[in-house]
Amino acid sequence: MATTPDPNETSKEPKSSVPQNTFLGLPQELRDEISAYLVLKPRNTVITMLSNHDCHRSEVSAAQPALARVNRQLRQEILPQFYGSNHFLAEVSDAEDLATAKRWLDAIGDENAGSLCKLVLCGWTRVPFGHMISRRWVKVGMDLQRGRLELEPTGQTGDEPPHPYVSKSIEGLRRSFERLAGANHGAGTQRCRFTVAALKHLLDGFHGLCAAY
């Protein structure tokens, strides 16, 4: 015989479809702290476009965090933090390096590219030195959200002033960067959002500096 439900009995159905003992069941503030611990790297960590297998000991792959692959909600929470808070580096001395960096940009897409904050380009350039050619290591830092490009110290002992050829080339790259930054300002905001196509254009420009001689 069926029993009549007691209207005063407290429902045993869960109030939320998300179990409280899962990561998504935690308070947002706690999730943010855990996510930051998992996805944010020390400022001096080199995050390259290479796979983990190909990275040097001092480098970390730019592959997306494993936690971001759990479900869509975690991707939406974690990826903007991963791309917006870490510094990424691309060495584009040769055509193979350039192709690797471009494949990485294609893989992350415009939405994630728009979240990037700091992108560093580096590579070997060749400059005239008397009757010979001298190699110089060049490093350029781009603040993609504020629209700034600066020549960075190489970190080598006895850093010399940039060669006039390098200075001229970097100035041309800066003008191109500023044009793209102006064209990619977010609607109603003071920050830039670079597209994959715009970043590829800058990669090509820097690679041209490396391959000019």
207 occurs within a structural domain: yes
> What strands, in cross-sheet order, belong to the sheet with 118-129?
59-61, 46-48, 87-91, 118-129, 132-143, 148-151
pLDDT recorded at residue 121: 93
How many independent structural domains does the chain possess?
1
11 occurs within a structural domain: no
Span 152-169, pLDDT tens digits: 876 654 566 777 888 888
Range of the domain at 206: 26-211
pLDDT recorded at residue 20: 57
pTM of the model: 0.77
2 occurs within a structural domain: no
13 occurs within a structural domain: no
pLDDT recorded at residue 182: 84
68 occurs within a structural domain: yes
Distance CA 93, CA 121 (A): 9
pLDDT recorded at residue 157: 47
Distance CA 138, CA 123 (A): 6
Q: Quick check: 96 and 211 in contact, CB under 8 A?
A: no
Q: Which amino acid is at 90?
A: A
- What is the residue whose two structure tokens read 């009549």? 4
What six digits make up the tokens of 93?
A: 């001395």
Span 124-137, pLDDT tens digits: 988 777 777 788 88
DSSP 3-state assignment of 34? helix
Under-50 pLDDT residues of the chain: 13, 16, 52, 157
- What is the residue whose two structure tokens read 């500096």? 209
58 occurs within a structural domain: yes
Beta strands 132-143 and 148-151 are antiparallel
Residue 59, beta-bridge partner list: 46
pLDDT recorded at residue 26: 80
pLDDT recorded at residue 190: 62
